[in-house]
Amino acid sequence: MSDYIVTKVEGLKLRIAEEKDTPLILKFIHELAEYEEMSNEVVATEEILKESLFYKKAAEVVLAEYNGEDVGFALFFHNFSTFLGKSGLYLEDLYVKPEFRGKGIGKVLLSYLAKLAIERGCGRFEWWCLDWNKPSIDFYLSKGATPMDEWTVYRVSGNKLSILAKEFDE
């Protein structure tokens, strides 16, 4: 059984995900994608997650359990700032089941990751948020987060990623 991380919210415990939690993590990913109206973009499988999370250790997951029920997760990994010369903690996803929102679970997950970032000597703690997600934006602003509106995120994926990679050999 996993070791639990005690929180100040009555009935709420956190734990570091283990390989046996892979189906739960995938379930939460699907629920998050549904909330974000992006279900068609999820191609992750249990096998892919096991390989990425528990063998390659490309990311880590913290699970939230409220009164014995799994209610949310945070998936994160380290990035690096050349300007700071230090790693940072990047939050890829934070999700709490809708019926458990407003109980402080998201706040606890976010503050736990901030504490972890400090313990690991990180210079930053960052994440993206969809522009239309006003409840999350308001929550993040209330926690002291600063939107990086002078930056634009760029992405290359799928066939365009393959084309760009082939340019190296040309």
Q: What is the rounded CA–CA span in Å between residue 44 and residue 29?
A: 9
**Token digits of residue 96:** 């709490």
State the catalytic residue, choosing from 66, 90, 95, 140. 140
Measured distance CA(146)–CA(137) in Å, rounded: 10
Q: Is 127 helix (H, G, I), strand (E, B) or coil?
A: strand
Residue type (1 letter), 64: A
35 and 44 Cβ atoms separated by less than 8 Å: no
Count of residues for the chain? 170
Task: Answer yes or no: 140 catalytic.
Answer: yes
Assess contact for 46 and 39: CB atoms under 8 A: no
Give the residue numbers annotated as catalytic, written as ranges: 140
